[in-house]
């Protein structure tokens, strides 16, 4: 299926609602399809990641469902970031490629942030992999501003000389 298969009427019928236990399988599979699980930060995508969010106190997790039941997208947010309990973390978001470019992710971000605000956080933090222009654009468009930059330096074990 391609984006052109999704009509304007279908897009208008996309409903955003809280993540339910019945959504877990579809959410896991969509993440497995769109995240590159061989590279950080996506290597931690798992059933545990979804379930932990679903169980978390104050979690703000939402799905976008088409009228025919297809999962168009999801977002997983939680209360707490590192040691800060007054910050929320929008950790995972994805839309099915067939539903992209129609504002669904922006709606999911709004729902997630509102839920975290209701849970009492003072700010919402999200990290964006430096090459992920779609995600960076989404976050800017949704009112996030770039803060600290963290670069993951990696030293492969095979490159380490004996004794050094
Ligand atoms: C990032 C992602 C969620 C965006 O989903 P989407 O539903 O297409 O996004 P939206 O249609 O809501 O777009 C909202 C804004 O995001 C930005 N955006 C979306 N796709 C973009 C792209 N390919 N390049 C640049 N900016 C983009 C735009 O600013 C857009 O607003 P505009 O249309 O008014 O210009 C989607 O591309 C995706 O699932 N990517 C793979 C998973 C991923 O990388 N998730 C983030 C890390 S967890």
Arithmetic mean of pLDDT over the chain: 92
Candidate of 63, 65, 126, 137 to mutate for ligand 1, largest count of ligand atoms within 8 Å of Cβ: 137
Domain ranges of the chain: 3-159
Q: What are 20-30's pLDDT values in tens digits?
A: 999 999 999 99
Mean pLDDT of 37-54: 95
Instruction: Check residues 39 and 96 and name the one with the higher pLDDT.
Output: 96
Distance between CA 19 and CA 28 in Å, rounded? 12
The Å distance, Cα 93 to ligand 1 centre, comes to 10
- What pTM was estimated for this model as a whole? 0.92
Q: Which residues of 76-108 are buried (b: 16+ CB within 10 A; e: fewer)?
A: bbbbbbeeeeebbbbbbbbbbeebbebebbebb
Tell me the per-residue pLDDT of 139-152, one tens digit each, with 9 for 90 and over.
999 999 999 998 98
Distance between Cα 142 and ligand 1 center (Å): 10
Question: Around 31, how many Cα atoms within 13 Å sit in the side-chain half-sphere?
Answer: 25
Which class does domain 3-159 fall in?
alpha beta
Residue 32, both tokens? 């497995």
Q: Which of 9-23, 75-89, 126-140 is the least confident region?
A: 9-23
| Pocket mutation for ligand 1, best pick of 105, 127, 129 (most atoms within 8 Å of C-beta) | 105
The owner of tokens 């896991």 is 28
């Amino acid at each position: 299926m391609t984006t052109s298969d999704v009509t304007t009427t279908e897009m208008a019928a996309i409903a955003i609602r809280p993540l339910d236990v019945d959504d877990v399988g579809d959410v896991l599979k969509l993440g497995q399809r769109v995240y590159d699980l061989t590279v950080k930060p996506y290597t931690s995508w798992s059933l545990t990641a979804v379930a932990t969010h679903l169980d978390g106190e104050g979690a703000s997790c939402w799905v976008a469902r088409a009228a025919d039941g297809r999962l168009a997208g999801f977002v997983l947010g939680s209360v707490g970031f590192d040691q800060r309990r007054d910050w929320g973390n929008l950790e995972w978001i994805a839309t099915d490629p067939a539903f992209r470019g129609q504002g669904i992710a922006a709606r999911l971000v709004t729902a997630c942030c509102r839920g975290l605000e209701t849970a009492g956080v003072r700010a919402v933090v999200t990290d964006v992999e430096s090459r992920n222009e779609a995600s960076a654009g989404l976050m800017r468009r949704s009112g996030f501003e770039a803060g600290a930059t963290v670069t993951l330096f990696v030293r492969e074990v095979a490159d380490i000389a004996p004794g050094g």
